[in-house]
Amino acid sequence: MHHLPHDHPGVPDHRSPGRFLWWMARQQWPTLVGGMCFGIVWMSAQAVMPAVIGLAIDRGVADKDTSELAKWAAILFAIGLVQAASGIMRHRFAVTNWLIAAYRTVQLVSRQTVRLGGTLPRKVSTGEVVAIGTNDLSHLGQLMDVSARFAGACVSFVLVAVILLQTSVTLGLVVLVGVPLLMLGVAPILGPLQRRSAHQRHLMGALSNTASDIVGGLRVLRGIGGEQVFHERYVRESQTTRQAGVQVARLQSVLDALQVFLPGLFVVIVVWIGARYAVEGTITPGELVAFYGYSAFLMIPLRTATEYANKIIRARVAAARVVRVLALEPEVGEPAHPAGSPAPGAELRDDRTGLLVRHGLLTAVVSEQPDESAELADRLGMTHAPVDDEVTLGGVPLTALSSAEVRRRIVVSDTGALFFSGRLGDRLDVTGRGDVERALDTASAADILDALPDGLDTVVAERGRSFSGGQRQRLVLARALAVDPEILVLVEPTSAVDAHTEARVADRLHRHRAGRTTVVTTSSPLMLDRADVVAFLRGGRVVATGTHGELLGSNAEYRRVVTRETEAELAVSEVAPR
């Protein structure tokens, strides 16, 4: 019994699609060899059946020898049993090979996704990653699946050629020479088919990415009246993708037609030669019947060979996409020799901005330019490049620590955080040991849970589309709180909720994170009033620190930034209350 998923998918060779496919085959060689062995037995049993039937006719029927007829009938029955048993095992190995390849691909891409973190969406479109999970892993599995039948096809072809050579040198040579010529007839199509398939896959990935963007920003598009513009864009891209698909289908249809026509033509030639020999008396009636049997049988290995070539093309296109993802390197590299872990409760400091985050306090960061505070949050969590040694934890640069330790101790949750589809409880408790109910209460999201018919068992739509913007923001906050990291960095956690909800979140957040270090980038007076320390950021530097009340009374620029935000919120609430 082969257990899936793998404990460790291995270290892939992603230098080229061909090397990756060969590496995949080597990783599952025991099941591949097993499938090939049973495939050889299965197809060889079919290959010798016409010869056994011919001998039964010649020695039993023609010679009117009942005992010979019974003997060859028994041999034929035994071969049939062998074929049936080997066919069952071949199919089991084929399915196993498909599943192993698919699971390994999923694990490799998932592991790389976790390793890349925020680098992935900046290097590869969402559509391309989706295409790997929906189409590419199937093509990789199909190549491993067809390998068993292809091995059987090669051996059975040689076996039939040997039998025909013993009966007729001409027929044997026709088979030995004709089959390679047939394969050469198909070869000119394979290259263009691979190029067109690769182009179509690229367009499909781009189209999926466009669709995801439209669905994710549907509310915004409706608000600004941009639905029609994006609809027309999607129509154009979909038609381009359709035309590329038609180009692939044209070549694919020619290949499929040749898979039937060329073997059929070859069989006609073999039958014609055999019939002539029978008329001339060169071969016996039983051998003539065997020739007809071989003519029908040869269709199987020939079509399997062309199918194998087709599957290789599709698998190489799929492997090229997988290799592209696997070859990416994270923008934040791992240190060659990680430093010792700082003691719990260490201070977090950013020398570039002058920000000091003390242990156990709720520190708020205010900036007139929201991008500045968001960039600072990324620096504190070392989530984006470029990174430097200016951010330290307990005096140790974050760049000197392993990324696993930084992610374990510092969690950054921004407004762009989304949900994967699946059970809501699992999406909120990503560690498997968080206090989800307390986190939901702190995020003032209990009402969302109460409105769901299945509560935490509710299935979340992809990217959390079934929730409103404010609901999604509160659930994202609850997820971050459920992780309960040593240091939590929140980027504008209440920007999409009303003032009453924001006041509850601010008050509960301070109690929830008591004794833990929390950094919040915000310009909301409700949140700032509950902060232990407020840092005012201007021009990329912290120019003032203190409590919200102290800064309001001593720093006019801080007061202007915070007051302008309040006036804007009041104006919006009067026009369109939430």
Transcribe 404-456 into DSSP letters.
Answer: HHHHHHEEEE-TT----SEEHHHHH-SSS---HHHHHHHTT-HHHHHHSTTGG
Task: Report residue 512 as tokens.
Answer: 């929830």
**What proportion of the chain, given as a percentage, has pLDDT over 90?**
23
Say what the pLDDT of residue 359 is: 94
Domain 17-326 has CATH 3.40.640.10: no
Is residue 166 very low, low, confident or very high in pLDDT (cuts 50, 70, 90)? confident
**Spatial distance between the Cα atoms of 235 and 232, rounded to a whole number of angstroms:** 5
Looking at the DSSP bridge assignments, the partners of residue 487 are: 410, 517
Say what the pLDDT of residue 507 is: 93
Say what the pLDDT of residue 283 is: 73
Q: 60 with 66: CB under 8 angstroms?
A: yes
Structural domain spans, the chain: 17-326, 348-575
Choose the weakest-confidence range: 11-25, 53-67, 82-96, 185-199: 185-199
Do the domains spanning 17-326 and 348-575 agree at the CATH topology level?
no
Residue 577 has pLDDT above 70, yes or no: no
Residue 575 has pLDDT above 60, yes or no: no
Choose the weakest-confidence range: 203-212, 319-328, 405-414, 450-459: 203-212
Looking at every residue in the chain, the average pLDDT score rounds to 81
pLDDT tens digits for 459-488?
Answer: 777 666 677 778 888 888 999 999 999 999
Place of tokens 């999201």: 445
Contact residues for 320 (Cβ-Cβ < 8 A; gap 6+)? 17, 198
DSSP assignment letter at 7:
S
Q: pTM for the full model? A: 0.64
pLDDT tens digits for 331-365?
Answer: 777 787 888 889 988 999 999 999 999 999 999 99
Write down the architecture of domain 348-575 according to CATH.
3-Layer(aba) Sandwich (3.40)
Strands (E), 492-577: 517-521, 533-538, 541-546
Residue 204: what residue type?
Answer: M
Residue 197 has pLDDT above 70, yes or no: no
Is residue 519 very low, low, confident or very high in pLDDT (cuts 50, 70, 90)? very high
Task: Report residue 392 as tokens.
Answer: 């330290």
Looking at the DSSP bridge assignments, the partners of residue 367 are: 537
Cα 38 from chain centre? 31
Helix axis angle, 29-56 relative to 66-116, nearest 10°? 160
**Spatial distance between the Cα atoms of 445 and 455, rounded to a whole number of angstroms:** 12
Is residue 186 very low, low, confident or very high in pLDDT (cuts 50, 70, 90)? low
**What proportion of the chain, given as a percentage, has pLDDT over 70?**
82
Q: 150 with 304: CB under 8 angstroms?
A: yes
